[in-house]
Amino acid sequence: MAGRGDDRGMTVRVKKKRGIKASSRRWLERHLNDPYVRRAKADGYRARAAYKLIEIDDRYKLLKRGQAVVDLGAAPGGWSQVAVERTGSTSESIGVVGIDYLAVEPVAGATILEMDFLDDAAPQMLIDTLGRAPDIVLSDMAAPTTGHRRTDHLRTMHLCEVAADFAIRTLKPGGHFLAKTFQGGTENDVLTLLKQNFTSVHHVKPPASRDGSVELFILAKGFKGRREDSDGDTGEDDGEKAGPLG
């Protein structure tokens, strides 16, 4: 990783302007004075969210050289940047494939698909592009906010559920799944599903998550494998090709 950058500096104040709400001005001031935002600019990351993955990976040692990674909800590309750095993915040998319905500037060493992950064709497109079963599925997906916390939570939990299903259908045995969620009481079904299919499941809140945020990450480690894997095909070969989903 590049240097941490200089977190120090004068506090930025946003002048009052006609047409700009006080709440918007406060948000902008908080964003501009956020040390993670400053570090992201200094270190060349596209968003402060990169440090969430960095901090989680530093603690749990998920990303390793040569691994294959799927990055769901890749925009603006910060997590893909971290995954490329830590797996050694290159343009000659792509090991990181992301997807987002928003356009993403190219990330050296990764392939980013511009399409909605909820599109029926998207899961197979990801696996076909990667060319093998992933070692890790990452998901920083969150539904666009409506301002109604309960609705926003339910919509993001749906994305988490879909991402978990994708991970269980595609991961190599021993693989890991990391996904954004929100604090709340509607994730029991997801936790039950993950506990059935992984050796350990954790809730993680990295320091880079803003104070007061209801954001959490679910980390499921050690995928137990699908039934067909335990019937003889362990999927341990690094060159394994993933078959059609369904």
- Provide the annotated binding site for S-adenosyl-L-methionine: 77, 79, 100, 116, 140
CA–CA distance, 179 with 79 (Å, rounded to integer): 12
Binding-site residue positions: 77, 79, 100, 116, 140
Cβ 126 vs Cβ 97: under 8 Å:
yes
Q: State how far the alpha carbon of 14 is from the alpha carbons of 30, 38, 73, 182, 201, in Å.
A: 10, 16, 30, 30, 42
Q: Are 216 and 183 in contact (CB under 8 A)?
A: yes
Active site members: 180
Transcribe 117-150 into DSSP letters.
Answer: TTSTTHHHHHHHHH-S--SEEEE---PPP-S-HH
